[in-house]
Chains A and B, each alone.
Chain A
Amino acid sequence: MVLRRDDWLDLSRKVDWTYRYVDERDVFPEAVSGSPWLAHKAWEDWNEVYRTTYREYVANQRAKDDAVLGVRSALNKGHIVEGLDPGWVQLVKFHNGALALAEYAGAVAELRMARFGRDSAWRMMATLGGLDEIRHTQIPLLLGHDLLSFDGNFDWTHRAYHTNNWVLIAARHLFDDMFLAADAVDLAIQLNFVFETGFSNLQFMAMAAMADRAHHHYFEKALASIQTDEARHAQIGHPVLRTLIENGAAERAQYLVDKMWWRCWRLILALTGTAMEYLTPRPARTHSFKEFMEEWVVDQFMKNLAEFGLDRPWFWDTFVEELDWAHHSFQLGLYAYRTTLWFDVALPDAEERRWLAGKYPGWEDAFGPLWDGLEERWQAEGEPGTLATALPALCNLCQLPTLFVRPGRNTACTAEVDGRRYLFCSEPCRWIFTREPGRFTGHRNVVDRIVVGEAPGKLTDLHRWMGLEAPIETGKDLRRGLDRWRLEPVPTA
């Protein structure tokens, strides 16, 4: 008689045993397994809803890969960019560069939990999570490789994290903090609970919906497929958080949630907010970035916090204010410094401006005059008049430019630590930095590196230092001029 799944599953998942020759603290050192250190008794009920076996995992993943590769084959490599909007192609280039190797760092994080997670069911789930993240690295690498013959800068899918580009330094700083320099407990809360249940829906499901409407079905299928993995291994966070709270560590849990929510928000507004609102072709937009954030991120995250009796982060009002404005300020910054990027940046046209003003009351008054000024500079001075040359001031925590929340609303601030004054874009960034100064003071942002002579001081010389060969690789205005090295423009939908 064949046993039913539920009759044997726990026997294969719950394989912890009592150590006789070593101490449990030596097998799971607090420095890597996490704080507070609790004996296994506290973790033995660890469970999650998927309870996937390795056999099921292999079968499911094979089917998912077949689906993605099926779309790729159906499209035929030679026609893979046909019908794509030029702005959308830049969005894919931006997304691939910022995420492909971050997923690989995610694999390292999952594998750390696969060894140092405190229960065998947790370690099993993290093992599958590690395999997931390797897959999430390989899919964009394949997609980027397919696009390489149409646009040479798709090599940034692999190259980006190996450069000193300022966007990637900011992303690396976050992912090092969240993934690579974290113990198993912190990983489960930061990566699985906050980032994956909080933000990855936006990056993968909302973006997949846009990809569908932008007629990029290969990208859509890849994103949606990735999200099904994320939804599974994200479940690691819940039982870890519950165990911490049940064992008197609610304050630490709240800190990790608050810290990582803010850190993820800063990067997401810079990457996803600008890409959704300014690179997605207008007919492909159903929701604004703010609407997506409210539906896919905020509502769900509030439910998650309520489930554990945690408070919303103390800076919630600041976050809500930024939802209306901050990514629009960031887009101006990206445009002004577009030659430091590996993708092209858009100046919104008249139809997009009407759409933005409809979605964001006040947008036209706040940002319209600045975009008008840029248009006038294009007419009067040509492209050089539209490029910023002064070095932007960078935040010592998020590493991003200290952009205003909106024109006229500046939240930059400083703090003195060990005799040095540090700059921050906002109060939450300063709060995180000063809570853990030993973790952050040793890192130099790009401006710090220029000041001490590790990087060139002239913006034009910084291109090569950032890994960009000017002018062939540097970002341009999306709609003005053709790249000389591109044989034909990417066809417009």
Chain B
Amino acid sequence: MAGGARIYLFGYLSHDFFGRVIVTPDDQTVGRLAEQLRAWSWEPERPGPFTVTNEAGEVLDPSRTLAGAGLGNGDIFTVSTEG
């Protein structure tokens, strides 16, 4: 169970149509955050590998924590699936 400071982020799935608010501990991993967003998806199912990027388009390591990846209050992240 993560126990870091709670932060709010804005998550976007690359093939979706709107962004969602996610409130999460900042010691959560980038990969878990992406899975949480994918679970809320309204887009047609797109299984398989994905990448997570920040607003500048830099790819984030899914094993890193949000704080470690530089994500803080009010930041955008995008989860891109192939296909």
Contact = CB atoms under 8 A, between A and B. Distances in A.
A296 B3 CA distance: 56
Given A413-B55, A420-B74, A421-B73, A393 B44 contact: no
Nearest to A394: B21
A145 B70 CA distance: 54
A64 to B, nearest CB: 42
Given A420-B74, A422-B74, A370 B17 contact: yes
Given A333-B18, A393-B18, A412 B12 contact: yes
A373 B42 contact: yes
Nearest to A451: B8
Contact of B16 (A389, A407, A457): A407
B78 A410 contact: yes
Interface in B16-40: 16-23, 40
B76 interface: yes
B21 A407 contact: no
Nearest to A337: B18
Contacts of B21: 390-393, 447
A414 B43 CA distance: 24
B18 A404 contact: yes
Given A391-B21, A392-B21, A447-B21, A408 B14 contact: yes
A42 B60 CA distance: 59
Interface string A401-415: 111101110101110
Interface residues on B, range: 20 to 34
A406 B16 CA distance: 8
Contact of B18 (A329, A447, A457): A329
A423 B74 contact: yes
A447 B72 CA distance: 16
A285 B72 CA distance: 47
B33 to A, nearest CB: 13
A408 B15 contact: yes
B14 A370 contact: no
A373 to B, nearest CB: 6
A438 interface: no
A332 interface: yes
* From A391, A401, A420, residue with most partner B Cβ within 10 Å: A391
- What is the predominant secondary structure among interface residues of chain B facing chain A? loop
Nearest to B9: A393
B19 to A, nearest CB: 4
Contact of B43 (A329, A336, A370, A412): A370
A329 B43 CA distance: 12
Interface in B54-79: 55, 72-76, 78
B52 to A, nearest CB: 14
Contacts of A332: 17-18, 42
Given A391-B21, A393-B21, A410 B10 contact: no
Contacts of A414: 55, 74-76
Nearest to A402: B19
Nearest to A457: B23
B42 A388 contact: yes
B62 to A, nearest CB: 20
Nearest to B10: A393
Contacts of A329: 17-18
A447 B11 CA distance: 14
Interface in A397-448: 401-404, 406-408, 410, 412-414, 420-423, 447
A393 B42 contact: no
A401 B18 contact: yes
A412 B74 contact: no
A423 B74 CA distance: 7
Interface in A444-460: 447, 451, 457
A177 B18 CA distance: 25
A384 interface: no
A407 B15 contact: yes
23 contacts: A333-B17, A370-B17, A373-B42, A373-B43, A373-B44, A390-B22, A393-B10, A393-B20, A393-B21, A401-B18, A403-B18, A404-B16, A407-B16, A407-B17, A407-B43, A408-B14, A408-B15, A410-B12, A410-B78, A421-B72, A423-B19, A447-B21, A451-B8
Interface of A: 329, 332-333, 336, 369-370, 373-374, 388-393, 401-404, 406-408, 410, 412-414, 420-423, 447, 451, 457
